Chain A
């Protein structure tokens, strides 16, 4: 069987991010939080392969540690979105009636809140932190999953075998776990991959604004914001974190496309 090229390239890029993150947990060229004021804003050179930032921290080490941060954010966000969205969509599909109307209307309204806007609202009310950012982005992504599960659930409920299960006394929870979830799992995997990319972009923007990951944890978005003051002296500092974000987002988008082609082959 021939794998879609998007799957291969996407898998490769995502694999690279994951590998970098894993390696950075045990090893980075220099401690990413180690400050060496004498070596500030150095260009690429031996010892500092990508140069140093405004307080003399090694840019490459910080990029590597930033990969861990990015992955944690993606995972937690997607888990929140799945954890709320899947049961919500399931309830809508299995119980129908007013409950369905209410959940779907709510999810429509939630869909009108862009992730970053919701995160800004959360940051205003609570303290801006990585947790509020992840919670807001996760909640903003809930409707995506609720809709997918509801749509597939409505189809599953029409199937003869589900009618048989119900005549034999199968409960709705049983149908949800045993028949609905396996049917939507491939669509959910695709959506989760794409949601991962959305989460990375949203968190990068929030961290850039100073409403995401707080220091000293290295974060690609905040590294870009810190580089802005030194565009004159060290323009490359504004390049590397952006490349990292773009490659990670591209990787997850391609992986999502590839998985869709693989799991759901339609012309």
Chain B
């Protein structure tokens, strides 16, 4: 068990290094002179040279890579090319918006999908199961940003219940901050719930076909009793995997949805940095988000080893 965990951990480190090389290569090795972009039309050969030196662009690529990674490990994320402020504190500040948004969406998604998915799975031959299944198929096809637009149209513009965009800072008014997050979290959470519902449904359908459930039914348990005592833990294994994948969806969804509702989070920062070609911020943020995905995948892998004794023992 321990050796397996260490093995997985080693792969995680290798993956993180590979991912960082990939991000660095795309940003640095491919054409596109950052200095020329920043200076624009006012560039002279001399000013270009000075700026390249300031940015460290005259140093060899491998040295810049080592400095970038070394800095990140010491939580020094470098300096924004445009605002000249440290990227690290900037990211922390934006997390105060993106973190609660992602968490809220995840809670909404699980709260909606768990009962619906189980119901659709248990009643998969009945009308109610088919209806939930059809609705979730439709939900998967809806882009989260469109759901956001529709929610904003109804609840912000028509009914004027909630703000259509912008963010009230937590320090100013915690309730105001929460109110600005309700619609974005709903848009993201409901769309994610559609995906999750389908996976929970098929996990529940699959587990009902297992021999041990048939045995449990044969000794007199009702369908629900059999599922509760023997089925849910078994069905949880594929669902946990999907929860990990969902986090990726949530991160990406948050990038887009923050721009729909003009929330000053990581997604908005990423988008603005792309517009300004502030490549250091882009490079940091993409690496950070990818690292989160890789680490979550690792944790998911570990967690279903704990859930399923068979995976634990087999190599």
- Chain B residues, Cβ within 8 Å of A249: 140-141, 143
Cα(A126)–Cα(B277), bound, Å: 9
Cα(A130)–Cα(B286), bound, Å: 20
Q: How far is the CB of A92 from chain B (nearest CB, A)?
A: 16
Cα(A116)–Cα(B250), bound, Å: 12
A80 sits at the interface (CB 8 A)? no
Q: Is the CB of A231 within 8 A of B157?
A: yes
B60 sits at the interface (CB 8 A)? no
A124 sits at the interface (CB 8 A)? yes
Cα(A78)–Cα(B55), bound, Å: 38
Query: Within the complex, which residue of A205, A228, A232 is in contact with B256, where a contact is CB–CB below 8 Å?
Result: A205
Q: How far is the CB of A50 from chain B (nearest CB, A)?
A: 16
- Chain B residues, Cβ within 8 Å of A238: 146, 149-150, 153
Cα(A128)–Cα(B19), bound, Å: 22
Given A105-B18, A116-B252, also A250-B138 (CB < 8 A):
yes
- Chain A residues, Cβ within 8 Å of B164: 231
Q: Is the CB of B14 within 8 A of A114?
A: no
Chain B interfacial residues counted at CB < 8 A: 49
Q: Which residue of A lies closest to B29 (CB)?
A: A125
Give a binary string over B255-296; 1 marks a CB under 8 Å from any A CB, 0 the rest: 110011000000000110110010100100010011001100
Which applies to chain B's interface (DSSP): helix, strand, loop or mixed? Answer: helix
Q: Is the CB of B15 within 8 A of A246?
A: no
Query: Within the complex, which residue of B19, B143, B273, B297 is in contact with A201, where a contact is CB–CB below 8 Å?
Result: B143
Q: Which residue of A lies closest to B281 (CB)?
A: A124
Q: How far is the CB of A176 from chain B (nearest CB, A)?
A: 26
B23 sits at the interface (CB 8 A)? yes
A113 sits at the interface (CB 8 A)? yes
Q: Is the CB of B252 within 8 A of A231?
A: no
Give a binary string over A77-115; 1 marks a CB under 8 Å from any B CB, 0 the rest: 000000000000000000000000000011011101111
Q: Which residue of A lies closest to B279 (CB)?
A: A124
A4 sits at the interface (CB 8 A)? no
Q: Which residue of B lies closest to A245 (CB)?
A: B143
Q: Is the CB of A232 within 8 A of B157?
A: yes
Q: Is the CB of B14 within 8 A of A231?
A: no
Given A105-B15, A250-B137, also A114-B252 (CB < 8 A):
yes
- Chain B residues, Cβ within 8 Å of A117: 251-252, 255, 286, 289-290
Query: Within the complex, which residue of B144, B149, B297 is in contact with A112, where a contact is CB–CB below 8 Å?
Result: B297
Query: Within the complex, which residue of B150, B209, B249, B252 is in contact with A242, where a contact is CB–CB below 8 Å?
Result: B150
Given A114-B252, A205-B143, A250-B137, also A120-B274 (CB < 8 A):
yes
Q: Is the CB of B153 within 8 A of A235?
A: yes
A63 sits at the interface (CB 8 A)? no
Q: How far is the CB of A147 from chain B (nearest CB, A)?
A: 14
Q: Is the CB of A246 within 8 A of B141?
A: yes
Q: Is the CB of A120 within 8 A of B270?
A: yes
B124 sits at the interface (CB 8 A)? no
Give a binary string over B145-178; 1 marks a CB under 8 Å from any A CB, 0 the rest: 1100110110001100000100000000000000
Interface centre among B18, B249, B271, B274 (most CB of A within 10 A): B274
Q: How far is the CB of A17 from chain B (nearest CB, A)?
A: 12
Query: Within the complex, which residue of B27, B146, B260 is in contact with A245, where a contact is CB–CB below 8 Å?
Result: B146
Q: Is the CB of A108 within 8 A of B153?
A: no
B2 sits at the interface (CB 8 A)? no
- Chain B residues, Cβ within 8 Å of A227: 149
B69-108 contacts to A, CB under 8 A, are: none
Given A205-B145, A231-B152, A232-B157, also A121-B26 (CB < 8 A):
yes
- Chain B residues, Cβ within 8 Å of A250: 137-138, 140-141
- Chain B residues, Cβ within 8 Å of A254: 137
Q: How far is the CB of A41 from chain B (nearest CB, A)?
A: 15
Given A121-B282, A211-B274, A250-B138, also A113-B290 (CB < 8 A):
yes
Q: How far is the CB of A120 from chain B (nearest CB, A)?
A: 6
- Chain A residues, Cβ within 8 Å of B277: 124
3 cross-chain pairs, A with B, having the tightest CB-CB distances, nearest first = A242-B146, A250-B141, A249-B141
Interface CB pairs A-B, < 8 A, 16: A109-B18, A109-B294, A112-B290, A112-B293, A121-B27, A124-B279, A205-B143, A208-B145, A209-B256, A231-B153, A238-B146, A242-B149, A245-B146, A246-B138, A246-B141, A249-B140
